[in-house]
Structure 1
Amino acid sequence: MGGLRKKEARLGWFMTAPGLLMIAAVALYPILHTFWLSLHTVKLTEPGLGQPFVGLQNYIHLLSDDRTLNALWNTVIFTVSSVSLEFVFGLAIALLIHRNFFGRGIVRAAVLVPWAVPTVVSAMMWKFMYNDQYGVINDILEKLGIISSYKAWLGDASWALTSLIITDVWKTTPFIALLLLAGLQLIPGELYESAKVDGASAWKRFWHITLPMLKPTILVALLFRTLDAFRVFDIVMVMTGGGPGNSTEVISTYAYKVLMRYLDFGNGSALAVIVFICVFLICLLFITVLGVQLVEDEGGGGKNTWTKKRSVRSAKKFSSTEQSHSSF
């Protein structure tokens, strides 16, 4: 039996070797080579300089540079703001289109239109809408009396990043809504019926049944969107290019400029490694939280049944509390 297991193990490694080699060639080698470049001074504008080894000097220089810190700060603001708004709006839309009403199929299809539009096309469209000469946003706001004159939204440092966040929220909220809708459809309807029979209000059913049962889906959706938002590039490059005055420059656009415009492969690679480390830490955080949640929900039907019963009991408890308060 021992020899048979070893033979099967060798066969398994042999069968997976092509896939492992492909992953190493496509993913692992570029990562290692980028890290190697980040430890050297590599400037194509100064070919006679060579590629001297500088260790962590590139990282020290970048992390003490105000422009890098500003790009990181803009990235954090963009990520937190856009993902938070997308989650709130996406959850509201998912709850709405989860209901049975006339024309639900048309509404679901219409909701997905912004997500189906290519990002560059969406960015160009919103750039025209924000235009200070003929933009429709200025026209609408002026007619509503909110502004007295046309405003250069993308040319104002205090409004440019907010404008980008609004664009990203419009573009990607349907993605969050679609994932949350899939999670809502997995929640058994008898949970709501049982809680409703026991007098639980709509808010209590949402808070003690929907959210607990939807938690794994929420974590997955937030993971995907947080990673995407932190690596945002196309919306910023198309709409503002990082301006005005680097007020909308994020870490990805800054790394692109250092690599492709300044041809500084040493610092550019260091910036790429910083982005990689940040994304890895975000993944680690979400996967840790998600893993704990999945472990809690694992263990077969008994564990899942216990979770469902706990949700119903919780809704019943709060319903009884409300009834006793009203009686008092």
Structure 2
Amino acid sequence: MSTTSATAATKPAPKRGKPPASDRSRAENRLGQRLVAPAVVVMLLVTAWPMFQALYLSLFRYRLTSPDDKEFIGLSNYGTVLTDPLFWQDTWNTVLIMVVTVAIELVIGFAFAMVMHRIVFARGAIRTSILIPYGIITVVSAYAWQFAFSLNNGFVNAWFGWLPWISADTNWFGSHWPAMFAIMVSEIWKTTPFMALLLLAGLSQISEDMIEAAKVDGATWWQRLFKVILPNMRAAIMVAVLFRALDAFRIFDNIYVMTRGAQDTESSSFLTYRQVIEQMQLGLGSALSVLLFLSVLLLAALIVKLFKVDLAQARGEG
């Protein structure tokens, strides 16, 4: 009897299964599938053929300057790309730009979202003014920042010459890291309002009663931020980071306008552009585009996995 009791006491408790989805959750899933179905069909019709065409061309040695020499080489293009140091250098540049810009945009965008959420006086005017940079075409903003960092006419050297690492003759596009800094600044200025807009939507969903209850319990501002506000904004933060990371990973316009890839500032998208448009290497360019597409899919999966957002709980069903 004692042996049986001891065995029962040491036996691990059975794992709790995942609770069944509620009727509301299933109904919302069905409604969501019906709503997105037309968009998915249109996207497949528009993108499926170019995607399969790129995959097909990536298996050939094919250059537009000699179309009659098209030759099937299997996965050799992928081997050429993956063993080329330039590909990894451009991938490193892309990842660096993505990580730095998205991290800074998340902090500044959250500050802007807090201001737009709490401001009472002239709320519409303030929100509109914050969103102005995002409304400017990327090429136009890139040219503006290229002029700002210009050695002869730019205002950056004149306004910030009091900093020890900036002088009147600082050539921002003369070496790698200053050029990368200029590209990141232009990207952050342009897309931070988009991040702020997404975070504002999440901030608006937080109940004021929860924040007031935390105040009554004696929580400081930082405690309310990290214990109440940010945990309840996890879904909104995930969406904002996901959208911006995927967009930043495909950065092209700023680099094309500001440096043309000089000073080792190429991105993966710019490398693909050079292979397809400038060198007319459709085989290698298609392999690069396929690898870029797979990288974007992997990045999206990693971000979703990292945040571990329970959408049912975010809707208040948990």
TM over 0.5: yes
| Aligned CA distance change for structure 1 residues 45 and 119 (closer, same or farther; 3 Å) | same
Distance in 1 (alpha carbons) for counterparts of 2:100 and 2:73: 37
Maintained 8 Å contact 1:38/1:265: yes
Q: Is 1:39 the counterpart of 2:56 in the alignment? A: no
Name the structure 2 match of 1:200.
Answer: 219
1:21, CA displacement in angstroms? 6.4
| Aligned CA distance change for structure 1 residues 48 and 131 (closer, same or farther; 3 Å) | same
Q: CA RMSD in A?
A: 2.1
Distance in 1 (alpha carbons) for counterparts of 2:132 and 2:254: 17
Q: Give the AA of the match of 1:281.
A: L
| Aligned CA distance change for structure 1 residues 19 and 115 (closer, same or farther; 3 Å) | closer
Q: Is 1:79 the counterpart of 2:98 in the alignment? A: yes
Equivalent residue runs for 1:79-228 within 5 Å = 79-142=98-161, 147-228=166-247
| Aligned CA distance change for structure 1 residues 147 and 285 (closer, same or farther; 3 Å) | closer
Match of 2:74 among 55, 60, 64: 55
* Matched position secondary structure for 1:242: coil
Normalization by structure 2: what TM-score?
0.83
Name the structure 2 match of 1:259.
Answer: 276
| Greater fraction helix | 1
| Aligned CA distance change for structure 1 residues 201 and 252 (closer, same or farther; 3 Å) | same
Maintained 8 Å contact 1:139/1:150: no
Q: Give the AA of the match of 1:188.
A: S
Q: Cα deviations across residues 84-129 of structure 1 (Å, max 9, x unaligned)? A: 1100111111112211343333222111111111111100000001
1:182, CA displacement in angstroms? 1.1
1:298, CA displacement in angstroms? 5.3
**Aligned residue pairs, count:** 283
Normalization by structure 1: what TM-score?
0.81
Distance in 1 (alpha carbons) for counterparts of 2:209 and 2:262: 53
Q: Give the AA of the match of 1:272.
A: S
Name the structure 1 match of 2:265.
Answer: 248
Name the structure 1 match of 2:3.
Answer: none
Distance in 2 (alpha carbons) for counterparts of 1:207 and 1:24: 41
Q: Cα deviations across residues 173-223 of structure 1 (Å, max 9, x unaligned)? A: 111111111111111101111111111111111111000100000000000
| Aligned CA distance change for structure 1 residues 43 and 88 (closer, same or farther; 3 Å) | same
Residue identity over aligned pairs, in percent, reads 39
1:26, CA displacement in angstroms? 1.3
Distance in 1 (alpha carbons) for counterparts of 2:181 and 2:123: 32
1:19, CA displacement in angstroms? 7.4
